[in-house]
Structure formats: structure tokens, C-alpha cells
Copies of this chain bind each other. A is one copy, B any other.
Amino acid sequence: MYFGVDIGGTTIKLGRFQGEGVLQEKWEIPTRIGENGKYIFDDIAASILNHAVQAGLHPSEIRGVGMGIPGPVLPDGYMEVGVNIGVREIYPSKELSKRLGIPLICCENDANVAALGESWKGGGAGFRSMFLLTIGTGVGGGAVLDGKVRKGAHGIAGEIGHITVRLDETETCNCGNRGCLEQYASATGIVREAKRVLMGTTRPSVLREIRNLTAKDVMDAAKAGDPLALGVAEDVGGYLAWAMSSVSYIVDPEVFVIGGGVSAAGEFLIDLIRKKYDVMTKLLYHKAEIRLATLGNEAGIYGAVRLVLG
């Protein structure tokens, strides 16, 4: 029996798996921040033991636990800082290992773990190499090459949201640079771009009547044929395609998988990306596949278990 753990700033998702990745049950516990992660690891250990026993299993039958954690984890397992969960200078796998008394605990950055999950059992299943783009409040990602998630020499591999796509941007991105993909293609960025366009013209649009505009509103209006919204959505597709064409010319994955809240726009979004991606990858006779993520917020627990299976 294996457990997959996905630590978030508000909740911790857990899953119990049988054999090669068959999810038996999943549940959540709140993330109790404080004392440099003490409660987090106490709670995870207690919850795992409790669920093992409830399933009629002896704790000695726990073969391994994988964890995804928000923040960079160095190759030796050391984590300098995890701002969202209030930890600093810890070895997360050792923390859990000493509480559970079992040696096989693996831990990695949560975005990379989610990429591993989608590659294993989600939109990337059956492909040898995959690049995941997670389009939510921000734009994140992860590269899984030949079954291994690429962490990078400094822990930033897959951080595709901070690829520069505009040199004329005046607002600063969260990272401190200007013109990052995330400033245009994230949920926040889509709303910002739509507002910019609405302010800069008097063209009619259904978006003008919506208070507290969301990215979903923009994508829905685009799908329904609102010309102004469609223009914004096409730009979003164009920026994503641009970054993805760079990914192809650098690591050439077999498939791209699109996840995160904005990917709810579905095939409509894929088509917008596809059209521009194909033009920007002239050297690719056989184009990469572009697919939707399928695991939703279970990607983390699947990836965590994949991690521990090695």
C-alpha cells in the first residue's frame, strides 16, 4: 500500500493507493501552519496511520509515501523555504519518515509532482515525454522527460509562466520582470487584458455588462462569439502557443497537457492554441499533441505515488 500526499496552503490532499497506482480512497485535512511545519507532518502521519488501520491494514504494510510540497526541494531533499506553508530549512521527507517509522518517503515541488501525475495517469499517459501547462491564478508547468520530472539545476525547470513574451510591458510581474507569459495568459492576466481592451475602445461587448469580470466570463463570451472577447481569447492562445513553440524547439515533448482553471474552456482553448502553434513550429513535420489535463486536483496525489514508485 502506498500513500500520495499533496500539501497545499489551505488543505492537504491524501490518497491511498494499491499496487501500481490504483486509487482506493482519497480525503483532505486542513493545513495547520505553525512551529516550522510540526503540525503539518504530525497531522499527515496521524491521518495516514488512521486510514491504514481503518482499511484493515497493518502500518508495516505501508510500502512508501510520496509528497508534493509548495516550494523548491533540492536534490538532497532539503527545502530552504516554503512561504505558503510557513516552513524553513527542513528536510520534509525526513520529518515524515521519523514520525511514520518507514524509510521510503519521497518529496518534491508540488508543480513537478502534478506534472508527473498527469504524465502517468492523466492527459500525458502513454507518452514518453510531456510538458504540462497549468493555467490558473498564475501559469505554471512541468516537464516530464522519459518518465522523469525535470527539476532543473536551480529548481526552476517548468516555470513557463515567466518566459518573456512582450518587451513593451510597463507593469511588473510578480517575479519582478516585465512581459511574462503569466501577465497575459493566467486567469488574472486574461481579466486584465480584457479590461485593457474594454477601456481602449468603445466597441460593444457583452463583457461591458459584467461586474467582477472573471477569466471564465471572457472565455465564455469568446465561445459565444462576442468579437471583443474573441480577440482577447485569440491573444491568449497566441501567447501560449508562442511559449509552447519555444518548449518544442528546446526539449521537443511528444505531448502538451493543459490544466488549471482556465483549461475548463476545453477544446475551444486547444483550438486557439493549435492554430498559432502550428505556424510557429515550421520545423516540426509531425506536430506535438495538445491535450487537456484529466486528473484535476488529483494530479498531485497520483504524481506523489509515482514519485515513490521510482
Chain A residues near B (Cβ < 8 Å)? 127-129, 131, 143, 145, 150-160, 162-164, 173, 175-177, 242-243, 245-254, 279-286, 288
For this chain, the copies found in one complex come to: 2
Does B280 contact A159, Cβ atoms closer than 8 Å?
no
Query: In the complex the two chains form, what is the Cα distance from A250 to B246 in whole Å?
Result: 9
Chain A interface secondary structure, helix, strand, loop or mixed? loop
Does A279 contact B177, Cβ atoms closer than 8 Å?
yes
**Closest B residue by C-beta to A238:** B167
Query: In the complex the two chains form, what is the Cα distance from A151 to B254 in whole Å?
Result: 11
Does A288 contact B153, Cβ atoms closer than 8 Å?
yes
The 3 A-B residue pairs whose C-beta atoms are closest, nearest first, are A152-B252, A153-B254, A157-B252
CB distance from A110 to the nearest CB of B (A): 16
CB distance from A173 to the nearest CB of B (A): 8
Q: Which B residues lie within 8 Å of A253 (CB)?
A: 152-153
Q: Which B residues lie within 8 Å of A243 (CB)?
A: 246
Q: Which B residues lie within 8 Å of A288 (CB)?
A: 153-154
Does A252 contact B164, Cβ atoms closer than 8 Å?
no
